[in-house]
Amino acid sequence: MLSLFFALLFILLSILPARVCAQQIYEIENPKREVRAVWLTTISGLDWPRTRAVSQSGIERQKRELVDILDKLQQANINTVLLQTRIRGTVIYPSSIEPWDECLTGRPGVNPGYDPLAFAVEECHKRGMELHAWLVTVPLGKASMQKRYGSASVTRRRPELCRTVRGELFMIPGKESTAAYVASLAGEIVRRYDVDGVHLDYIRYPEKSYGFSDDDLFRSSGSADKGEWRRENITRIVRAVHDTVVAVKPWVKLSSAPIGKYKDLSRYNSLGWNCLNAVYQDPQHWLSEGIQDMLFPMMYFLGDNFYPFLYDWKEGAGGRPVVPGLGIYFLDPREGRWSLSDVRQEMHAVRDAGIGGIALYRSDFFTRNCKGLYDMASVSFFSRPALTPRMVWRGDTVSPASTNGLNLSSSGVLSWNRSNETEDVFYNVYSSWHYPVDVADGRNLCAARLQGNSFEVPELGLYYAVTVMDRYGNESEPCQLPSSCVAFSSVSATYKIESDTVRFKPDPQALCVYVKDLPGKTVRVALDDDFVVVSSLAPGWYKLVKVLKSGKSESMGIFMK
């Protein structure tokens, strides 16, 4: 027995530095606020929908598909869904401006029999996730496709705003009324739906390979610099969307997906593919002017095409979130040859840069667990929920009033009184072994953006706290659950004491088992692999925890002395 004691002591001492290091890494890797986004693509049903809504059963299957996707995203602690809402001059909601996209029914312009955008908003909010309406701005797709939409097509309703180049249709950025048209779509969505953001995609000029020309408009503009004129044309659209949206709902987040390289750097060339000069975007100006809240640059690159440009984005962010989009589709052998290590390294670099968050293109490659990405993200990298960043630049930094009446039932339901604030508030739940619960520590966040005033806790025997959060991300002071309300129930395994001993099932993967008191202090170490002597413990509740060979700790259950 003595030799076993010293062997166990050696193991504990040998793993202590690694555990301390792991604790430090854990703190870095669980930020309280971080955008974790996915692009959910609807064009041709790439991510969703895969079934057609041509009958009531088809509608239900289509809805079920989306629910299954959102469930997986929620389980991975994704907090932002960028849902493709305008596709190619077509939409996935009943619009008075543009027709239904064919992705829903397989037929252009046909009503699917329900409102997919309303359904998606509701389901995202049920899961504590934001939904941003993703609008493809300039491209309208193939001219042959637009003909199938007949008189409902923008090419028929507003032909002066459209131009055909090599069989492809585009809206004309140089036409001032194009900005008003795109803004009208954003305004329609914001007025009718409880979206959390409007996300502009392809908010740029077509690539040079298309041969798109607006020389006629440039000559008549009186401008001296064509590049500056084109950049202002794109900025005018972004500005119009901003002005329209904030006039309706000032808390709605405005973002875009610019090219992944803003400009050439002193030591690294963009190879002709950048925002400023290739497609005439100036997203850093959009941030400084205040007409965008955040950016999602499409950084679908590796190595020197990624890391130097990542820090260039950070330097030009002006304190607003920049959320690099990672090209995870290259994990699929049909798309590229990226390894999981490639993506993991970029995710860590982005987080270490503290730039604002991470976005993944696109949903299907994530939820299909390409090369183990979903497992890695959900188990370790996104192991805890996170709130999205506060919108302090919008000027509203006043925290809402705290809630009260926090109570935990014996069945494990945490409840509280609804806030006296407006309906535009959410609730965040925190838990800890320490009292009072530190709500500044991201490791303690266990549920975010709850709409109701109750929550079934995942584990009893912990202390809990609840905060109120408004639309701008301002958070109230916490309402702490009184320590006298901490209780246990069947949601945790309960061990009995027999002859001053607690027995448990041996685990070959466990290095050791130890006992913690409620505040989280280790009070006993098991010297055997299937029991621990507790005769000297003071009366009260305790928790059994095992340290695995992987270095992680895992709760086993509780017992009362």
Task: Split the chain (561 residues) into runs of 10 and give each run's mean pLDDT.
Answer: 44 40 46 98 98 98 98 98 99 98 98 98 98 98 97 98 97 98 98 98 96 97 97 98 98 98 97 97 98 98 98 97 98 97 97 97 98 93 96 94 92 90 87 90 94 88 92 97 61 75 90 78 86 88 82 78 83
Distance (Å, whole) CA 393 – CA 435 = 33
CA–CA–CA angle 520, 525, 528 (5° rounding): 145
Distance (Å, whole) CA 178 – CA 410 = 60
Question: 532 near 515, Cβ under 8 Å?
Answer: yes
Distance (Å, whole) CA 179 – CA 232 = 11
CA–CA–CA angle 458, 460, 465 (5° rounding): 80
Distance (Å, whole) CA 324 – CA 299 = 6
Give the pLDDT of residue 447: 96
Give the pLDDT of residue 265: 98
**Reduced DSSP (H G I as helix, E B as strand, rest coil) percent helix, strand, coil of the chain, to 5:** 35, 25, 40
Question: 171 near 165, Cβ under 8 Å?
Answer: no
Distance (Å, whole) CA 174 – CA 14 = 67
Place of tokens 């027709």: 99
Give the pLDDT of residue 519: 58
Question: 467 near 484, Cβ under 8 Å?
Answer: no
Give the type of residue at 423: E
DSSP state of 392: G
**Cα 322 off chain centre by:** 13
Q: Locate all alpha helices (DSSP H) within 249-369, ordered by sequence.
A: 275-278, 283-289, 307-315, 340-353, 363-367
Q: Which helix (H) or strand (E) holds 246?
A: helix 226-248
Distance (Å, whole) CA 146 – CA 128 = 37
Question: 448 near 31, Cβ under 8 Å?
Answer: no
Distance (Å, whole) CA 543 – CA 451 = 31
Distance (Å, whole) CA 246 – CA 74 = 28
Domains located in the chain, CATH noted: 31-137+173-393 (3.20.20.80), 396-485 (2.60.40.10), 493-560 (2.60.40)
Q: Which helix (H) or strand (E) holds 236?
A: helix 226-248
Sign (positive or negative) of CA dihedral 122, 127, 133, 136: negative
Q: Which helix (H) or strand (E) holds 255?
A: strand 253-257
Distance (Å, whole) CA 86 – CA 200 = 10
Neighbouring residues of 113: CB distance < 8 A, sequence distance ≥ 6: 53, 56, 59
Pairing of strands 531-533, 541-548: unpaired
